[in-house]
Amino acid sequence: MALDALSRYLEQAGDRAGWRRIVDNSWGPTRHVNGHHEVFPAYHPTLSVGDLFELYRAMVTSRRIDDRELMLQRQGQAWFSASGAGKEAALAAAGKVLRPTDPIWGYYRDRTLVLMRGVTPREMLLQSVGAASDPASGGRQMPEHWGSPERAIMTYASPVGIQCIPAAGLAEACALSEKLIGRGRYPADSVVYTAVGDGTTAEGEFYESLRAAIIARAPLLVHLMDDGFGISVPVSEQVPGGDVASLFRGWPNLTVMENDGTSVRDSFDAFTRAADSCRSGRGPVLLRSKVLRLYSHSSTDDQRKYRPKADVAIEVEERDPLLRFARELIEYGFASADELREISRTIDAEILAAVDDVLQAPKTDVSRLATNIYAWDPPRAKAAFAAATAGRPSPRAGQTLVMADAITACLEELMTALPQLVMWGEDVADLSRGDYFRNPGLEGKGGVFGITKGLQRKFGPDRVSNSPIAEASIVGRAVGWSLQGFLPIVEVQFRDYLNPAWQQLVDMVATLSWRSDGRFTCPMVIRMAYGGYLGGAGALWHSESANGPLLHHPGLRLCVPSNAEDAVGLLRAAAFSGDPVCYCEPKSRYRFRDEFMERKYPAPDFVLWPGTSRRYGDGKDLAILTYGTTTNLCYRAMQALRSDGIESRLLDLCWLNPLDQEAIRAAADECGLVLIVDEDRRTCGAGAAIADVIYRDRALRRRVDVERVAAKDCRVSYGPVGERAILPQMEDILRAARDLVKLRPRR
């Protein structure tokens, strides 16, 4: 263990230097040299002796917990650990410089920083042993995944770099919160800290986060801890030229700083300069700390397999930040070896007591594992909606509108009622920020389908703005804004182009509430045009449904309107649900005009809350279950079936998560025949989830026949002939319905 070198040094050092500590830093320590006093420079002009001891205690505590976690694993009491050994000096300095209210959203090497922020060894060890009382996640996350709202520690995650874009978004939101909403959760002059290793700089999301922070001149402090390795791969094989900082020098409006991360003094100075730069409005800072990796990447790795033993030994004996700081404290006269040994003994006793305590703590409560997946609280959501909309008329109420115009009107109403509502996406603004001020006479765009047209002109460029073509940034930034108290309604132009944001969506957005055991939530709405039926123009990257993959990830809500009226009711519900909601808009129906699609704009109190469905007809021969684009096809099919003497009913499910299970079972029970129509593919499509509601009811399973019409398990082809061959058509629905009815006599 690296601590052995520190222990040997303290045993050998004793008090042989004979120096005396001078508490007044302005004079610096002194010692007798050749019969007279020699005055040494102060260790640091702004760090008191008490500060130095605080830093040392945090560093030693961090290393001791690293060692204790490894021991617990050997004893079968813990199952994983990721050490920060070799990085303690830089992290302790960061913890000293940052304010207690500055949000920190780093990665799993940050133990020393988190200790400086106030997380206790006991709290960390509760997570190590998977205790139900783990205050960061309720035992749901691995060790080193901290989170503490009261300490401004955002909940940590495993995928490297996943926090970078949300941290950039949070920094943007902090800087604008005073202007837009008066006060957010974190002060307007906050610096947002995030951290990565040198290997993480290969991740595309890392680059996106820097671009977003630079464009917004956001107060983001990116701590790059460069220990020369990405697991077993040396930096020379990861970075062109082997110098990771060189990749970012010369980026416009990005301040790049370098630091000896094994030195407390150098690190304190570097973080002071970095934080001051961020707070001054000069934009983001990338601070590269050259640190060490004294232990293996994690407890599942063994660096002895790929690093010469001598290399690690040299780092331990000559550059270990703990050993270096201990030498400085003694040589500068601030502490004796006995005092430092006593600090170690005290820390050991504290950790041993914490271990004894946490090993008695009940493990993860499995009865609670499915709680806090969602934040949806019906009474709270309905009360918030009533309070925000009370006395506010709907100017368009009663007007007959197509879906596109209804969505635009609803967005305008919501932005008027909710000052915390902000929007961005590709092309969603009327004009670029520059043209907004320089050329206000331009017509403006307002989205590729014109849905957001006019909103930037009314609410300003701080609330409605364009984003780069970077879907991960669109979604990831929304997390940070949401945590500051905003409600982002962001647009991804097509569901087909959501995939670059997939990690942010399914590993960050969907899991935030669950993995923090409800301590953090990120309400937002992600608007996406989806689906085909536009005459074959789109092919596979503009014309697919792909709702099934969204349903696979707990934590995401999904709703799909089928007409203008429901589009308003669902959007109102999505905005107040408290959850991240994917709001998929059937683009072929944006401006479709017929008796089903065109509806009157609803009254201000019309809301289709999660789990709501809409029923058309009350026939008992057949129940047709569908949603979104195919609802219009099914409505027309229902009328055609009536001419055959088949009386059916149509259930438009509206919400695919949560499904209206009661209405599904009731339709199946009353009709006995169920036809599920789904624009998504058959395998793992939304239709499978709908059918499962019936199959899970044993009584219904025995007496209800279910048939499905879905897209073929093939990508959508270009041109009208190719599209029609893949997507369900009305003749497919009619054929399946008639065949199903033939199975049994009508009621």
577 pLDDT more than 50: yes
Does a structural domain hold residue 605?
A: no
Residues in the chain: 747
- Which residue, 336, 367, 398, sits at the end of a domain? 367
- Residues 615-637 have a mean pLDDT of 96
Q: Render pLDDT for 514-527 as a digit per residue (tens, 0 to 9).
A: 999 999 999 999 99
CA-CA distance, 399 to 568, in Å (whole number)? 13
pLDDT of residue 406: 97
pLDDT digits 0-9 by tens, 71-121: 999 999 999 999 999 999 999 999 999 999 999 999 999 999 999 999 999
H helices then E strands: how many in the chain? 26, 22
pLDDT at 31: 44
The answer to whether the beta carbons of residues 317 and 253 sit under 8 Å apart is no
State which residues form the domain around 508: 378-600
Q: What is the DSSP letter of 318?
A: I
Q: What is the pLDDT of residue 15?
A: 52
* Domain closes at, from 367, 391, 418: 367
Average pLDDT over residues 38-44: 60
Q: Do 335 and 383 fall within a single domain?
A: no
Options 223, 542, 552, 553, the catalytic residue: 542
Q: What would the pLDDT profile of 702-720 be if each residue is shown by its tens digit?
A: 999 999 999 999 999 999 9
Residues with Cβ within 8 Å of 535's Cβ and at least 6 positions away in sequence, in order, are: 720, 723
pLDDT above 70: percentage of residues in the chain: 95
Question: How many angstroms separate the CA atoms of 294 and 662, rounded?
Answer: 58
Mean pLDDT in residue range 146-153: 97
- Domain shared by 735 and 593, yes or no: no
Let me know if 542 is a catalytic residue: yes
Is 365's pLDDT higher than 70? yes
| pLDDT at residue 560 is higher than 70 | yes
Residue 21: per-residue pLDDT: 44
The Cβ of residue 398 has, within 10 Å, a number of other Cβ atoms equal to 10
Identify whether residues 522 and 655 lie together within a single domain.
no
Task: Give the total number of structural domains in the chain.
Answer: 3
Rounded CA separation 474/498 (Å): 10
32, pLDDT greater than 50:
no
d(CA 589, CA 610): 22
pLDDT class for 42, splitting at 50, 70, 90?
A: low
Domain boundary among 367, 398, 431: 367
pLDDT value, residue 10: 85
- CATH number (domain holding residue 361): 3.40.50.970
Q: What is the pLDDT of residues 430-480, one digit of tens each?
A: 998 887 778 878 888 999 999 999 999 999 999 999 999 999 999 999 999
745 band by pLDDT with thresholds 50, 70 and 90: low
End-to-end CA distance of the chain: 79
Rounded CA-CA distance 624/632 in Å is: 12
Edge-to-edge strands, sheet with 255-260: 192-197, 220-226, 285-290, 255-260
Q: Give CA separation, 8 vs 5, 12, 323, 341, in Å.
A: 5, 6, 10, 11
How far is residue 232 from each of residues 227, 236, 678, measured CA to CA in Å?
11, 12, 47
Task: pLDDT band for 743, please (50, 70, 90 cuts).
Answer: confident
- Are residues 443 and 310 located together in one domain of the fold? no
Residue 4: what pLDDT? Answer: 76
Tens of pLDDT along 288-333? 999 999 999 998 988 989 988 888 887 777 899 999 999 999 999 9
Token pair recorded at residue 162? 């996943």
Distance, in Å, from the CA atom of 42 to the CA atom of 37, rounded to the nearest integer, reads 15
Same domain, 423 and 296: no
On whether both 524 and 555 belong to a single domain, the answer is yes
Say whether both 48 and 134 belong to one domain: yes
d(CA 326, CA 14) in angstroms, rounded, equals 12
CATH number at residue 715: 3.40.50.920
Relative to beta strand 614-616, strand 648-652 is: antiparallel
